[in-house]
């Protein structure tokens, strides 16, 4: 432990809960002073969206894993709670810190908080430095030929790729010199885990939050899943995708590390052939963050304002309940919703189908579904969740055309032909216990198209 006379460096961790490829942490250690790593649970700063229940569960375990990794290296993870604009300067005072370092974030309210703190701390004579860590391409560095933000994915991703290979990941520091004399909260006191009832059993079975769990996923995917990714990624019954999304969401692994792992010479020829497709999915993550950067209220407002006139229906509570609980009587929809409830995750194909069903067959505002996902997904992401909901609804950037209504029966026949996925989550399928459909899929599709016409005509 070290005295505070050495003007320690504070690393303010946010969505970057890792020690490897963490440029702010690396730079802090390289400054040669004691380092305090701070995680602030900020549920009060204006505009910052409180985490959903599944994300809180993940955060708890991610912080526990990170705290252990940091302690092993001799460092200290301090947990504090409150508004960043008061809590960070408070810690600076307590420690007599000389510098504050962080990795950049891209949401509107977060950027406001960071900019305000940057100037307050600089005025107080501190060194403040921020780093690129969580996106391969920062939103202001990629624009159309006319200097505007991209609204369409393909040219966006092409422009990103044209910038050349991303930088190499930064090594984890072998040791982190700790600070003494300050106390943080006890993680248990934050009560991030569900208790009465404890619904997290399925999440515990499905996931290993933390940096080690993230790298394990990446390695097993690259060795076992990548060789069939382009085809397999559409089949919810096969485990062909990486399941890296919650790890990326909390920054337990960086996109730079994922990228680099796919460029090593140890891939099979089949895997090599699938790398481009896999990286382009990471590209969608980048694209959504790019959109959010330019359009910060993506979860509240239609990206395409024509949709403001859409005649959404207010669903009867039992209808919404049937969707949430996976009891609509439409098997692929129900399997997806139950996967979500049990594991905090849903296969991408099923996400598109359940979202289309809610928005287009039940005519429910996409925001209602987005909120449910926000609460129940372990990978609930401020950009990708509303970005994808708006993509399905037709109101988003580069969205699916509104008249593309996923037919859940045909989708099941095509992507889960043996019914493996549906049976996994619907043990009662084919018995009297399984409900009848709550809507007629065909008739409701026709109604949706009529409603769309209303928007198009602008009456
Ligand atoms: P892989 O196929 O292995 O892809 C690798 C990574 O690429 C993912 O981990 C993810 O970071 C990124 N990615 C893949 N597809 C997309 C996509 N369509 N948009 C953005 N990034 C993508 N993804 C989230 O990370 N958080 C969300 O809150 C989220 N909400 C969604 C809501 C709806 C209605 C839909 C249709 C999709 C949503 N997605 C979301 C996108 C996608 O379903 C998940 O990223 C993917 O299923 C995660 O599984 P994976 O890690 O195995 O993906």
Q: Does any domain span residue 218?
A: yes
pTM: 0.97
Q: Would you place residue 37 in the very low, low, confident or very high pLDDT band (cuts 50, 70, 90)?
A: very high
What is the 8-class DSSP label of residue 337? H
pLDDT at 5: 59
Residue nearest ligand 1's atom 15 by CA: 281
Cα–Cα dist 370/357, whole Å: 13
Residue among 234, 255, 240 nearest 351 (CA): 234
| Catalytically annotated residues | 281, 284, 312, 348, 366, 389
Cα distance between residue 45 and residue 48, in whole Å: 6
Grouping H, G, I as helix, E, B as strand and the rest as coil, residue 458 is coil
pLDDT tens-digit readout, 380-434: 999 999 999 999 999 999 877 777 889 999 999 999 999 999 999 999 999 999 9
> What is the CATH number for 410?
1.10.579.10
Q: Say if residue 120 is in the same domain as residue 29.
A: yes
Please check whether residue 350 lies inside any domain of the structure. Answer: yes
Taking CA atoms, 333 is separated from 54, 324, 404, 444, in Å, by: 20, 10, 17, 15
Last residue of a domain, one of 260, 294, 328: 294
pLDDT of residue 3: 44
Q: Ligand 1: distance of its center to the CA of 220 in Å?
A: 18
Shared domain for 282 and 250, answered yes or no, is yes
Segment 85-132, tens digit of pLDDT: 999 999 999 999 999 999 999 999 999 999 999 999 999 999 999 999
Instruction: Flag whether pLDDT at 2 surpasses 50.
Output: no
**Domain co-membership, 288 together with 154:** yes
Are residue 329 and residue 310 in the same domain, yes or no? Answer: yes
Residue with CA at minimum distance from ligand 1 atom 13? 281
**Does 174 reside within a domain?**
no
Instruction: Say if residues 421 and 335 touch (Cβ distance below 8 Å).
Output: yes
Residue 158 shares a structural domain with residue 234? yes
Q: Which atom of ligand 1 is nearest to the CA of 354?
A: 34
Same domain? For 53 and 157 the reply is: no
Band (pLDDT 50/70/90 cuts) for residue 250 is: very high
- Structural domain ending residue among the three candidates 270, 294, 318: 294
Contact 92, 100 (CB under 8 A): yes
- Determine contact, residues 406/356, Cβ cutoff 8 Å: yes
Query: Range of 158's domain?
Result: 135-169+210-294
Q: How many domains does the chain have?
A: 3
288 and 402 inside one domain: no
R_g (Cα) of the chain, nearest Å: 23
Residues 364 and 313 sit within 8 Å (Cβ to Cβ): yes
Count the residues in the chain.
459
Residue 187 covered by a domain: no
For residue 192, tell me if it sits in a domain: no
pLDDT tens-digit series, residues 8-32: 999 999 999 999 999 999 999 999 9
440 and 312 part of one domain: yes
Q: CA–CA separation, 300 vs 422, rounded Å?
A: 32
Ligand 1: which residues within 6 Å by Cβ? 233, 241-245, 248-249, 281-282, 284-285, 288, 348, 351-352, 355, 373, 377, 379-381, 384-385, 388-389, 392
**146-154: which pairs have CB atoms within 8 A and are 24 or more residues apart?**
149/290, 149/291, 149/293, 149/294, 150/287, 150/290, 151/291, 151/397, 151/398, 152/397, 152/398, 153/283, 153/284, 153/287, 153/398
Query: Which numbered atom of ligand 1 lies nearest the CA of 352?
Result: 36
Tens-place pLDDT, residues 52-71? 999 999 999 999 999 999 99
CATH number at residue 156: 1.25.40.80
- CATH code of the domain covering residue 58: 3.40.50.620
- In a shared domain, residues 72 and 101: yes
CA of 245 to the centre of ligand 1 (A): 6
Domain contains 373:
yes
Q: Has residue 2 been placed in a domain?
A: no
Question: Is residue 305 annotated as involved in ligand binding?
Answer: no
Q: Same domain, yes or no, for 118 and 246?
A: no
* Peptide bond before residue 127 is cis, with ω within 30 degrees of 0: no
Domain end marker among 133, 157, 181: 133
Residues 6+ away with beta carbon under 8 Å from 450: none
- Reduced to 3 states (helix: H, G, I; strand: E, B; else coil), residue 416 is coil
Residue 183 lies in a domain: no
3-state secondary structure of 452: helix
Asked if 271 and 144 sit in the same domain, the reply is yes
Q: Which residues contact 12 (CB under 8 A, 6 or more apart)?
A: 24, 38, 40, 84, 88, 100, 101, 102
Domain co-membership, 248 together with 128 = no
Q: Is 168 within any annotated ligand binding site? A: no
State the helix-helix crossing angle for 408-415 and 331-343, rounded to 10 degrees.
70
């Amino acid at each position: 432990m070290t005295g505070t006379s050495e003007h320690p460096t504070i690393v303010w961790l946010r969505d970057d809960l890792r020690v490897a490829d963490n440029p702010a942490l690396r730079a802090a250690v390289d400054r040669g002073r004691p380092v305090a790593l701070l995680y602030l649970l900020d549920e009060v700063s204006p505009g910052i969206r409180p985490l959903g229940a599944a994300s809180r569960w993940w955060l708890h375990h991610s912080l526990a894993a990170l705290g252990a990794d940091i302690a092993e290296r001799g460092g200290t993870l301090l947990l504090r709670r409150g508004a960043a604009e008061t809590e960070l300067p408070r810690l600076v005072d307590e420690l007599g810190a000389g510098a504050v370092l962080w990795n950049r974030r891209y949401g509107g309210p977060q950027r406001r908080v960071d900019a305000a703190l940057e100037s307050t701390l600089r005025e107080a004579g501190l060194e403040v430095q921020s780093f690129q860590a969580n996106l391969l391409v920062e939103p202001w560095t990629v624009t159309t030929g006319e200097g505007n933000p991209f609204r369409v994915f393909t040219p966006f991703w092409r422009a990103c790729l044209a910038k050349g290979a991303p930088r190499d990941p930064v090594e984890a520091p072998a040791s982190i010199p700790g600070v003494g004399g300050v106390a943080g909260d006890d993680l248990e006191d934050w009560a991030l885990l569900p208790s009465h009832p404890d619904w997290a059993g399925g999440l515990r079975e499905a996931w290993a939050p933390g940096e080690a769990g993230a790298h394990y996923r990446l390695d097993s995917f690259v060795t076992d899943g990548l060789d069939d990714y382009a085809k397999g990624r559409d089949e919810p019954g096969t485990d062909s995708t990486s399941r890296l999304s919650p790890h990326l969401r909390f920054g337990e692994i960086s996109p730079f590390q994922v990228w680099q792992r796919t460029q090593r010479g140890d891939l099979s020829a089949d895997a090599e052939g699938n790398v481009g497709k896999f990286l382009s999915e990471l590209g969608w993550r980048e694209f959504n963050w790019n959109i959010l950067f330019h359009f910060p209220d993506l979860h509240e407002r239609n990206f395409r304002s024509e949709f403001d006139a859409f005649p959404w229906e207010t669903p009867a509570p039992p209808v919404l309940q049937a969707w949430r609980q996976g009891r609509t009587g439409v098997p692929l929809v129900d399997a997806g919703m139950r996967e979500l409830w049990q594991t905090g995750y849903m296969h991408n194909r099923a996400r598109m189908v359940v979202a289309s069903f809610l928005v287009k067959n039940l005519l429910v505002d996409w925001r209602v579904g987005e909120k449910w996902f926000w609460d129940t997904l372990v990978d609930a992401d401020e950009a990708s969740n509303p970005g994808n909901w708006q993509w399905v609804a037709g109101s988003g950037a580069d969205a699916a055309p509104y008249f593309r209504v996923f037919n859940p029966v045909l989708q099941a026949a095509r992507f889960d032909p043996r019914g493996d996925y549906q049976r996994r989550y619907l043990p009662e399928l084919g018995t009297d216990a399984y409900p009848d459909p709550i809507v007629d899929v065909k008739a409701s599709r026709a109604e949706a198209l009529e409603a769309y016409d209303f928007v198009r005509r602008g009456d």
